[in-house]
Amino acid sequence: MPFLGAHESGAGGLHLAFDRLQRVGGEALQLFTRNQRQWNPHPLTADEISLFQAAWQQGGHLPVASHASYLINLASGKQELIDKSITALAAEIHRCEQLGIPFVVIHPGSHGGDGVEAGLVQFARALDLALDETGAGVMVLLETTAGQGTSLGSRFEELAFILEHSRYPQRLGVCVDTCHIFAAGYDIRTLSAYTQTMEEFDRLMGVGRIKFFHLNDSKQGLASRVDRHEHIGQGAIGLDGFRSLLNDPRFAGHPMTLETPKGDDLQEDRDNLLVLRRLIDKPAVASRIQL
């Protein structure tokens, strides 16, 4: 079975993200190691690291990923922004090294009108510069995107280009966001559609590249190119799409976290996780998935 969880806040102390995850019954965690809207956050303190690792151990050392700052844009044509983004990503990787987090999820950025190919070349070059400055203990996961505006990563071919043109392909993986791939035009609503989408991914990159999932339904329809997350089963994807993914034996041990809307009491996370768990263990579905 996959490890189901959620993105939880580290407000008040990074270690408290584990408490919040425990409150909703999660088995996998995504978090921001620092405020995602700041370029120059304070370094981690020894106390922060110690409290985080103790809470992680107490929680059973479940799967954890960090999400890099939304400010980072390694595909920009503006050198000042590129330089700041490289520094920020290297700092994020370093924080993950200190905490012991194995994955950093990052958006492939926006070309800002320079064109897809130029943006991809720039992203791969800048990504390598950030990786030059860091150790090999943390894997950077390229997140699939919805394709809004001039953002990159909505087509599997674009992610494949980055993997092929990086000097560090062994340090790269992919995080698949269900809302994003659906909004980008990859249908997963039925078993046959899901199978076809995964076959396309496998052909271009190999499903072994997938290390993490974001489980989000979509407020908008197929190929809308609009990134709007909805609660599981209440959006345009529907329950069958998630049933196919959750029962795919290739991803039985993968971490999958919610990024759906929620309030302070986190009840929405509890509800969404319950919906997801009710979809697992459907032998008739799982046996029909084409490997």
Catalytic residues: 37, 67, 70, 107, 143, 177, 180, 214, 227, 229, 259
DSSP 3-state helix, strand, coil percentages of the chain (rounded to 5)? 40, 15, 45
Here the tokens at position 97 are: 């090294």
Q: Which residue type sits at 267?
A: Q
Q: Which residues contact 157 (CB under 8 A, 6 or more apart)?
A: 204
Round to whole Å and give the CA distance between 161 and 181.
17
3-state secondary structure of 64: strand
Q: Which residues contact 104 (CB under 8 A, 6 or more apart)?
A: 65, 66, 67, 68, 89, 92, 93, 96, 138, 139, 140, 141
How many angstroms separate the first and last alpha carbons of the chain?
17
Question: Closest Cα partner for 275 from 252, 255, 254, 258?
Answer: 258
Give CA angle at 130 (121, 35), nearest 5°. 110
Q: DSSP letters of 203-264?
A: HHT-GGGEEEEEE-EESS-TT-----EE-TTSSSS-HHHHHHHHT-GGGTT-EEEE-----T
